[in-house]
Chain A
Amino acid sequence: MTPVALILLIPAIAALLLAAIPGTRLAARVNVLAAGATFLAALALLTEPRPAPGALFLVDDLNIVFIVLNTLVGFTAASFSASYIGHEVAAGRLTPVTLRFYHAMYQVMMFGMNAALLTDNIGLMWVSVELATLSTVLMVGLYRTPEALEAAWKYFILGSVGIALALFGTILVYMAAQPVLGEGTPAMVWSNLLPHAAAFDPGLLNLAFVFLLLGYGTKVGLAPLHAWLPDAHAEGPTPISAVLSGLLLNVALYAVLRFKMLMAANPATLPPGPLMAAMGLASLLFAGLMLYRRRDIKRLFAYSSIEHMGIITFAFGMGGGLANFAGLLHMAMHSLTKSAIFFSVGHVAQARGSQRIADIRGLSVSHPRLAVALALGVLAIAGLPPFGVFLSEFLLVTSTFARAPALALVLAAGLLLAFGALILRLTGFLFGDPPPEAAPVRASTLPIWLHMGLVLAAGIHLPSELVAWFQAAARLLG
């Protein structure tokens, strides 16, 4: 069986299985096992000979980066979820029935994301992104509190509007391709579209890209289409906040990138880069300002995700070898760091029984181990050396200075703005008098150390294989 088939079949079968398993602990283990097996299958993609691009699947340098990252964080988040969920059941916030549903939905979401990354058909890509979105909507509403329902409803409505615009864009791409490639499936296969893109009608392609950027951009959380993101992160279970930030945003960005490549292959169209760069910078500045007024710890880091997706979109919008490389590296580093932060935040919120920033202080006294984990994560995401995030931000700023110094100043200002807010909050979390009733945390911090270790290692030394791999993907992006 090929790795591609395994990557899709394991989550699909696991979803069915998990829907049938009543025991909570067994289900959590099966969930971890399935996610781990999917990750191994994704690693096999690196060594196995790649299948030729067909009507259904495409494996190239670009999506391998995404798929390996996706399955790795999917696996560690499942392990975190297993210990997180145990506490939620003990606290009576979740029942075994909702948990069965939660685990099945987790695998459905993994299936949707993996399918979106692997497919070669732009119609199937749309269906897969929608599937992943719907499964996360259900998980955001899991606690059924009024706040969770409000968040899920908002996410659902804004997500649906985004996805509807993306479908309209997809139809327009098909209509642009159909006179050249003929009717039927060939005109929806991405690897078929790319070599012929120069012959497509540029007007239709322009219009299509605007719809696709707005549609999938809603899911990326780019300002001004980000309104769903902070609520969805804050009110859902924390493992879902971690995969939303670490994975789903990337998958939507991947869809935008595929269409950007199509646009770039047609010289008569509008250049897509400046549009993306502008939206990216706007998100960075907006989120940087919003970070200062947060009162909820998960919302704080949700805005930080908007900020970083802005940076990544800006990097891909600038284009060129170095900026694309920086964008890919930043995406990987952000996924690892942000999910590690959410893992720590999940444990912290359980220990304090609150997500309010005002309630979270003195962690260094009450929970020293968690305090170190959280501090490392926040320092890394704020962009301090020696972590990998610093490396990618440094590469991006220097490459932007070489090409557009004015934009580089704005970029640097945005980065400093966000840096200030995060460090300000971090001192509040770590120091001060802890509330007397602080509960001990009996949770595994292993996934956090694993992620932070990878981010630290990438910041100190990038192996040449990894550099060559990312460079190949960056070249594909043009």
Chain B
Amino acid sequence: MERTVYPLAAVVGQEQLQQGLLLAAINPAVGGILLRGEKGTAKSTMVRALAALLPEILVVRGCANACSPEPDEDRCPECRRRFPDLETDSRRARLVELPLNATEDRVAGGIDFPRSLRTGQVVFAPGLLAAAHRGLLYVDEVNLLDDHIVDLILDAAASGENRIEREGISYRHPARCILVGTMNPEEGELRPQLLDRFGLCLEIAGSSDPEERVTLMERREAFDRDPAAFLAGYQEESDRLAHRLAQARAFLPRVHVAAHLRGFIGELCRESNVAGHRADLVMEQAARALAAFEGRAEVSVDHIRIVAPMVLLHRRRDAQPPPPPPPPPPDEQPPDEQSDDTPPEENREQQSGQQPEEPAPQEAGNQPPPAAEPPETGDRQEPEGRQDEEENGQQPAPAGREDEFFEIGATFKVKPLSAVKDRVVRRGSGRRSRSRIAQKKGRYVKSALRPSDDLALDATLRAAAPFQRQRAGSADGLAVHLREQDLRTKIREKRIGNLLLFVVDASGSMGARGRMAASKGAVMSLLLDAYQKRDRVAMITFRRQEATVNLPPTTSVDLAGRLLAEMPVGGRTPLSAGLVRTHEQVRNYLIKNPTAQPIVIFITDGKCNVALGEGKPVEESLRLAGALAQDRRIRTIVVDTEEAGLVTFGLARRLAGAMTAQYFKIDDLKAQALVDIVRGQHP
């Protein structure tokens, strides 16, 4: 189906984006381009517009792979066989769009099912990678695509060929395409190694100039009213751009890079502390493309300067962690002010590079100003009675102590946490834990004899093979005769979301020294992570004498965030009650969803001092914790909020031990922590 696309020449603003796209189109060796940006910034429009400018190419007639007839080019098996007897066609290079619903067999290619049945031979049906050969492959929302599909695409794009070794097919064809991806970082990031595979990367934002916005609206309206007339109006300019692009492509092989400029490139990359050497190579190729576009045979320093930001944006790593920002003066910042002004990833990135002692903002009047130095003494300046309370659970808590409210501390990027993989088949979406899946999604891992409409053709054919002679007489006119009992279906695997049950200790002991703010920050970080992984969340808090379910299991991470912000803190620590409530919630959830794998996250210092029964609170809680861990479907995580100091009780660690839970300090949760430890930057 043809559709009219908005012309590139008519896009308002976005010069850098236009330039980046042209560079990627001129020189495929640049390795594609990734466009990151907010919604509604003409990302898709521009990519489609670019396709209309791609030059004509010579292809083998009828070849689904768009093989080149030139003698020394790689070709698909069919064209290899027929070479040199090839008829040719000339047509514009194609834009192939990869829709979000694409399955692996359509991306890489698979068996042509009906034809295989008719002919009795395995017929290969080329996929989108074949169609995109020598053209443009456009992946919208690349960060929302299933991981295994992204891997497949990037692998093919990097190696220039697509190899299929599965479902009884062994097939190889060239797949050199210009890869263009778009993503909205709010919805989750790409893994760094995938990011690196994109040659260039651009950050796109809408225009803030009213004049430009008005022009944009006017053009859009004119286009919508009469696309043909609008296109005609820009025809000349479009033709000129297309011509320039074709010329630049032809001129590219003659563009030369002086040796001293290679040194300059290396220097730039080293300064940005990039990993590996891809940045250097890409920068050189991008600079050559730019020079070719300008009709220069020699790359200049300016060319390099222009392309450098696009090359380094997604590869830059800070050599030194930036100094932590000064803690905000207490009481001057309303709670939501801070989060209003900084976009989430910026916030997170800042945090991830920081030293762990970063004091979280807290309310005034609670205690002395935020301690910037790590707490080195056990001598805490706390309100009277608290120390007693922590050590001796049987003493009554001082009555009438006011509830306190704490801001949400700094958030950070969380380390990947997931449930244990098993063999249970589930339904669902999301991106946390790998699981067998009952939908027609995800990666085909093996086949089975079980009813479903997700047919595994290779296995079905194998199952039918021994009976072919016996069934030869049947009159269905097909070369392969299938019966009901031959049918095999696919077992697929993909990531899905989990239930994250947060059990938050809101007792008075958590309020000390801004620990609550830091804890809230940790919970918030986990919530943001849950949002991106599409988990369900639930929250239980315990304080004073009881535990309350603040939020039953829901997909509304927003709600959890709001509750967290409003959570009061104060009173004693009924950990046992919290454990019992948790057990109830999880049990109910598991009755409703027997195959679920809830992850229970305790945020506590473990200093419990209220028991349910007669026994000692600590012992009772450990016993209950042990009971909770009985169900193998439940995974537990303990986030210890106790400060490092001379006097530590290590009760949270004991709690974790009783549940065989994973144990983290807040700082260990940070995704960056591991890297820091390896680099020796972590104390």
A, B bound: no
Residues of A within 8 A of B (CB): none
